[in-house]
Amino acid sequence: MAYDLINVDCFSWMAERKENSITSIVTDPPYGVKEYTEKEIEKKRNGKGGIWRMPPAFDGHLRKSLPRFSVINDDPKERKNVYDFFSKWATLAFRILVPGGHVFIASTPLLSDILSLAMRNGGFERRGEIIRTVSTLRGGDRPKGAEIEFAETSVIPKGMWEPWGLYRKPLSERTVAKNLRRWKAGALRRENSDLPFCDLIQSTKTPSIERDISPHPSLKPQKFMRKIVYASLPLGNGIILDPFSGGGSTLAAAIHFGYDCIGLEKDEQFFIMSQNAIPKLASLYPNLFTQTENISVSARQRKVSRDFSLIETLF
Ligand X SMILES: C[S@@+](CC[C@H](N)C(=O)[O-])C[C@H]1O[C@@H](n2cnc3c(N)ncnc32)[C@H](O)[C@@H]1O
Residues forming contacts to ligand X in the complex (CB under 6 A) are 9-11, 28-30, 36, 216, 218-220, 243-244, 246-249, 264-267, 270
Minimum gap (Å) between residue 244 Cβ and ligand X: 3
Closer of 99 and 207 to ligand X (Cβ):
207
CA dihedral 11, 17, 19, 24 (to 10 degrees): -70
Minimum gap (Å) between residue 192 Cβ and ligand X: 26
Closer of 186 and 221 to ligand X (Cβ):
221
How far apart (Å, rounded) are the C-alpha atoms in residues 115 and 186? 21
Minimum gap (Å) between residue 249 Cβ and ligand X: 3
Closer of 86 and 270 to ligand X (Cβ):
270
Q: Which residues contact 256 (CB under 8 A, 6 or more apart)?
A: 222, 226, 282, 289, 290
Residue facing ligand X at closest CB distance = 246
Strand pairing partners for 123? Answer: none
Minimum gap (Å) between residue 301 Cβ and ligand X: 37
Phi/psi for 106 (5° steps) reads: -75, 155
Residue type, 246: G
| CB 141, CB 56: distance < 8 Å | no
Which residue spans within 8-134 are E strands per DSSP?
22-27, 52-53, 66-67, 97-106, 125-133
Please classify residue 89 by burial: count the beta carbons closer than 10 Å to its beta carbon, then call 0-12 exposed, 13-18 middle and 19+ buried: buried
Which residue spans within 22-134 are E strands per DSSP?
22-27, 52-53, 66-67, 97-106, 125-133
End-to-end CA distance of the chain: 48
Minimum gap (Å) between residue 143 Cβ and ligand X: 30
Minimum gap (Å) between residue 214 Cβ and ligand X: 6
Closer of 9 and 194 to ligand X (Cβ):
9
Closer of 169 and 242 to ligand X (Cβ):
242
By C-alpha distance, which of 26, 34, 18, 313 is closest to 167? 26
Minimum gap (Å) between residue 170 Cβ and ligand X: 26
Minimum gap (Å) between residue 113 Cβ and ligand X: 19
Closer of 28 and 78 to ligand X (Cβ):
28
Closer of 164 and 197 to ligand X (Cβ):
164
Closer of 197 and 244 to ligand X (Cβ):
244
Q: Distance between alpha carbon 309 and the CA centroid of its chain, in Å?
A: 42
